[in-house]
Amino acid sequence: MLQAGRGFGTSEGLRLLNNFHRICKVKYGVYYVLKCDISQFFASIDHEILKKKVKRRIKEKDSLKIVYDIIDSENPGLGIGSMTSQILAIFYLNDMDHYIKEELKIKYYVRYQDDFILLHESKDYLKMCLEKIKEFLTKEKLTLNRKTRIYKSTNNFIFLGRNKKGKYARYRQLKRKIKRKLKDYNQGEVNLSSLASTVIAYKMNNNKKIVKKNKK
């Protein structure tokens, strides 16, 4: 799991994932990747569930009231603009992180906000994990969206705006992805944060292409 803040952003997530790819390639040769994305994550966060989670960690009444007031200032779910909301959103899935690592025994696991990846040698085991994660998220009042799927290690896929090798997704791929993401956003399938991440990745990739042309 990656926190918001310096040193714990998308770069660290990609570094961890690339490291896990190298380890799994050496250990297994061919392996499988379960890539998951939660539908409308921030908007779907349940206030009462979040408060119960916070209460387990914060015992001082005045501090607890401040956090509760922050949670109740947004409705529905949490906003995506403030650092406080980002931290609370990350914390909301902390129990899922422990479940995946400790109960499902997944050693190679990376999560950034509501995007997360599991790597394992067995496709059948990841299929079982997927069903268990769906059941777990139901109790958290969350669902996985239709982009969730299992990839073979030889397949390419995009995670945090980059492909399996850590390179930015190709210009046309991202352009098509933005169109799909915008459609999903309009239909309520993804949140604004997910749409913004795709647009940012597209702009960064486009700027990189412009720099290369100017160097020629």
Q: What is the pLDDT of residue 198?
A: 66
Q: What is the pLDDT of residue 187?
A: 78
Name residue 8's amino acid: F
| Cα-based torsion angle of the residue sequence 135, 141, 146, 149 in order, rounded to the nearest 10 degrees | -40
Q: What is the pLDDT of residue 82?
A: 76
| pLDDT tens string 106-125 | 999 999 888 899 999 999 99
Q: What is the pLDDT of residue 6?
A: 39
Listed as ranges, residues in the chain with pLDDT below 70 are 1-9, 81, 161-176, 190, 193-194, 197-216
Q: What is the pLDDT of residue 118?
A: 96
Q: What is the pTM of this model?
A: 0.72
Residue with tokens 């933005």: 178
| pLDDT tens string 24-43 | 999 999 999 999 999 989 98
Q: What is the pLDDT of residue 175?
A: 67
| Cα-based torsion angle of the residue sequence 163, 168, 170, 176 in order, rounded to the nearest 10 degrees | 80
Q: What is the pLDDT of residue 5?
A: 39
H helices within 58-191, ranges in order? Answer: 61-72, 83-92, 94-98, 123-139, 171-186
Query: Distance (Å, rounded) from C-alpha 180 to C-alpha 82?
Result: 26
